Structure 1
Amino acid sequence: MKTLLLMRHSKSSWDNPADQDIERPLNSRGKREATLMGKHLVNEGLEPDMIVCSNAKRARRTAEKVIKAMDWNGPLEVNPDLYFSSVISYVDVLNQQLDKHDRVLLIGHNPIIEDFLSTFTGGWREAKTSTVAQLKIDIKSWSDLSHNTKARLKNFWIPAMLEK
């Protein structure tokens, strides 16, 4: 059994119109929510064995904030295959993960996050920025994951649910 923590990057800034899409940073809300979600993962006992994130600046910064909030020192992979991609690309990235990593946190983009959830759970969920979905996947090896694999959505958190 593998666990996938699927996270949409946190809220990015549109303050500088000259920024290319891949270079947009997090805004203050995005920084706060990424930290909140990292702390929540610790509270739930869901620290990942591995984090994989898109190479877009907003995804990398989300990963950095989550990592700091968790006080985590595990491996981080920045993978350009998660930027402007597809569900198939996400599956390919997961297929390459080492089997010793039972719990992987993947930080990516919409609409792929929503498409991934729909494909693997059979249900659609709106994935706002900083959303984290916990999926249980009945596979022994990440290489066994395919677009036909079914997953169970165990938890689905958006920052607004957790803010006090």
Structure 2
Amino acid sequence: MRRLILMRHGEAENALAGADDRRRRLTPAGQAAALRCGQEIRALGFSPEIILCSDAERAVATMHAVVRSAGLVGVATKIQADLYLADDHSVIQACGDEDDAMETILMIGHNPGWSEAATTLCGTPLSLGTAQAALLEHPADEWIAAISEIGRWKLKGIVP
């Protein structure tokens, strides 16, 4: 069984003209929402063995909040520049690059790529709000097999 959690970062500060978009921070509401999402992920029994995260400050801060609230301290993390504003194909391909021993992956990043990846995998139009996560499952034993089954993933829910 493969499980994938596609989470959009929490609400961030407004972009300022000329400022580096990667440096945008979470708002207090974004921080609180990320904490709630982590709690819900844990309550639903999704426990990732690895977290793949965009290198944008708002995504990394979201990851830290989820790690604390979901009890994921010690889970392997990869902060990846190529996940910053990644398209759906790049998001999905990143799963195929992971070790099959990792049955559950949490990915934290940005729209539109995250919503589009969830839509592509389950075949149902989805739009993730800030600090929301799509919980997806596929019965395959390997990531490569699972990601090749476009449209055949089961949407287990969107949290919160």
Q: TM-score, normalised by structure 1?
A: 0.89
Aligned residues: 158
Partner of 2:114: 113
CA gap 1:79/1:147 in 2 versus in 1, 3 angstroms: farther
1:151 corresponds in structure 2 to: 153
User: Which string of whole-angstrom CA distances, capped at 9 and with x for unpartnered residues, describes residues 103-129 of structure 1?
Assistant: 111111101112112211111122100
Which residue in 2 is equivalent to 1:10? 10
Given residue 2 of structure 2, which amino acid in structure 1 is its aligned partner?
Answer: K
1:113 and 1:139 map into 2 onto residues whose CA distance is 21
Partner of 1:162: none
| Partner residue, 1:131 | 132
Which string of whole-angstrom CA distances, capped at 9 and with x for unpartnered residues, describes residues 101-159 of structure 1?
1111111110111211221111112210011111011321112223736211011123x
Mapped partners of 1:17, 1:85: distance in 2: 22
Moved over 6 A (4+): none
**Superposition map of 1:72-111 within 5 A:** 72=72, 73-111=74-112
SS of residue matched to 2:95: helix
Question: Aligned-pair RMSD on alpha carbons?
Answer: 1.6
% identical equivalent positions: 27
2:42 alignment partner in structure 1: 42
Aligned partners of 1:120 and 1:150 also within 8 Å = yes
Mapped partners of 2:86, 2:127: distance in 1: 18
